[in-house]
C-alpha cells in the first residue's frame, strides 16, 4: 500500500469509535441496528463511521432484507499492519536530497 493510502487508512482507524467497531466486527458480522446500542451516539453518527470504514475498504456491507450487515475485511487490516512494518525505503530519497545540497550539514 502506498504511503498516502496507508495514511488515509490509519486516519480512519484512528478514531476510538471506529476502532471499536472494527474490534466488534472481528468477532462476527453485525448489522447497523446491533452496532448502534453498543455506543452512546446516534444512529446517523454510527452510519457515518461505517461509511468512512467502507471508504477505505476496511469493511464490507451486505443488505439482507431491511437490515444491512457489516463485515470486517481482515485482509485489508492485515495489509495495514504489513505496510506499517514495511515502510517504503527512503534511502534513495535521502541521497537525492544530499546530492542536491538540500540537506544542511548539522554536525
Partner DNA sequence: TGATTAAATAACAATATCGTTATAAAGTAA
Partner DNA sequence: TTACTTTATAACGATATTGTTATTTAATCA
Binding flags for DNA, 9-48, as an x/- string (CB under 7 A): --x---x-x-------------xxx--x---xxxxxx-xx
Q: Which residue has the cell 493510502?
A: 5
Could you tell me if 58 and 73 are in contact, meaning their C-beta atoms sit under 8 angstroms apart? yes
Nearest-angstrom CA–CA distance, 43 and 33: 8
Q: How far is CA 97 from the centre of its chain?
A: 31
User: Binding residues for a copy of itself, per CB under 8 A?
Assistant: 3-4, 6-16, 18-20, 22-24, 26-28, 31, 33-34, 37-38, 66-67, 77-78, 80-81, 84-85, 87-91, 93-94, 97, 102-104, 106
Residue found under cell 466488534 = 24
Torsion sign (Cα): 24, 29, 30, 31: positive
C-beta of 40 vs 44, nearer to a copy of itself:
40
- The residues of the shown chain that bind DNA, judged by CB under 7 A, are 11, 15, 17, 31-33, 36, 40-45, 47-52, 61, 63, 65-68, 104, 106
Amino acid at each position: 500500500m502506498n504511503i498516502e493510502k496507508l495514511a488515509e487508512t490509519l486516519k480512519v482507524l484512528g478514531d476510538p469509535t471506529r476502532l471499536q467497531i472494527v474490534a466488534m466486527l472481528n468477532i462476527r458480522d453485525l448489522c447497523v441496528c446491533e452496532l448502534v446500542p453498543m455506543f452512546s451516539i446516534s444512529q446517523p453518527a454510527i452510519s457515518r463511521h461505517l461509511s468512512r470504514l467502507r471508504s477505505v475498504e476496511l469493511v464490507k456491507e451486505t443488505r439482507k432484507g431491511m437490515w444491512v450487515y457489516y463485515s470486517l475485511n481482515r485482509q485489508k487490516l492485515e495489509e495495514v499492519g504489513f505496510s506499517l512494518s514495511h515502510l517504503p525505503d527512503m534511502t534513495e530519497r535521502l541521497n537525492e536530497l544530499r546530492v542536491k545540497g538540500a540537506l544542511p550539514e548539522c554536525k
